C-alpha cells in the first residue's frame, strides 16, 4: 500500500481452448455430479431412460441417446456430419473447424460402443423439453451440448498480462 508502483509491461495474447471429447460413461458421471450433484446411480438411471426411449407425442417414441456404457470417444461418421451441419446452420461456418474432429481412445478402451451422444440432431433439447422430466432434461442437455461442442472450433480468448513493479519486487 505504501510503496510506489508502476506498470512495467503489458502483454496481450490470444489463447485457444479446444473442446472436450464426447462423453464416455465415467466422464458423464463425473460431470453430472459436478454440475447437478447426481450420484453415479442416478446418472445411469436417467441415461437408461433416455436410451430406452421417450414418448415424444406426435413424433412417437424414440431413444434419445446412444448406449451409455462405453469407454470409447469414437463417433459414427453420420453423427459427426450431422453435428457439423447443425452447428453450421445454427451458429455459422466460423464456428466449424476445417474438418471433422476425431478423438483418440485410450489404449485400454474396448471400443465396442461409440461415445455417448444424441441419436440424432433432429431431437434438439428445445424439441424434447416437454417430453422430459427436469433431471432427464438436464442430463440430455449436458450430453447434447458436449456432443455439439466436440465438433466445434476451439474457443479463442484474449489474454492480457500486466507486470507491475512495486518498490523493488515484482508482483
- Residues with Cβ within 8 Å of 147's Cβ and at least 6 positions away in sequence, in order, are 22, 23, 79, 83, 115, 117, 118
- Residues with Cβ within 8 Å of 137's Cβ and at least 6 positions away in sequence, in order, are 125, 128, 129
Whether 144 contacts 124, CB under 8 Å: yes
What is the C-alpha radius of gyration for the chain, rounded to an integer number of angstroms?
A: 21
**Active-site annotation holds for 67:** yes
Whether 103 contacts 22, CB under 8 Å: yes
Q: Which of 72, 81, 85, 122 minimizes the C-alpha distance to 101?
A: 81
Whether 121 contacts 86, CB under 8 Å: yes
36, 67, 95, 103: the catalytic one is: 67
Whether 65 contacts 51, CB under 8 Å: yes
Active site residues: 67
Amino acid at each position: 500500500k505504501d510503496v510506489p508502483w508502476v506498470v512495467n509491461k503489458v502483454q496481450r495474447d490470444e489463447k485457444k481452448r479446444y473442446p472436450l471429447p464426447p462423453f464416455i460413461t465415467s466422464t458423464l458421471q463425473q460431470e453430472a455430479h459436478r454440475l447437478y450433484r447426481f450420484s453415479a446411480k442416478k446418472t445411469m438411471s436417467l441415461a437408461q431412460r433416455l436410451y430406452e426411449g421417450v414418448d415424444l407425442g406426435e413424433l412417437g417414441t424414440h431413444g434419445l441417446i446412444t448406449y451409455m456404457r462405453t469407454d470409447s470417444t469414437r463417433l459414427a461418421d453420420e453423427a459427426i456430419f450431422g453435428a457439423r451441419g447443425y452447428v453450421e446452420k445454427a451458429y455459422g461456418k466460423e464456428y466449424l473447424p476445417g474438418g471433422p474432429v476425431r478423438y483418440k481412445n485410450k489404449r485400454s478402451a474396448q471400443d465396442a460402443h461409440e461415445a455417448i451422444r444424441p441419436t440424432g440432431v433432429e431431437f434438439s433439447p428445445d424439441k424434447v423439453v416437454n417430453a422430459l422430466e427436469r433431471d432427464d432434461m438436464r442430463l440430455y442437455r449436458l450430453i447434447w451440448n458436449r456432443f455439439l461442442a466436440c465438433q466445434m472450433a476451439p474457443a479463442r480468448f484474449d489474454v492480457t498480462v500486466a507486470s507491475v513493479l512495486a518498490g523493488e519486487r515484482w508482483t
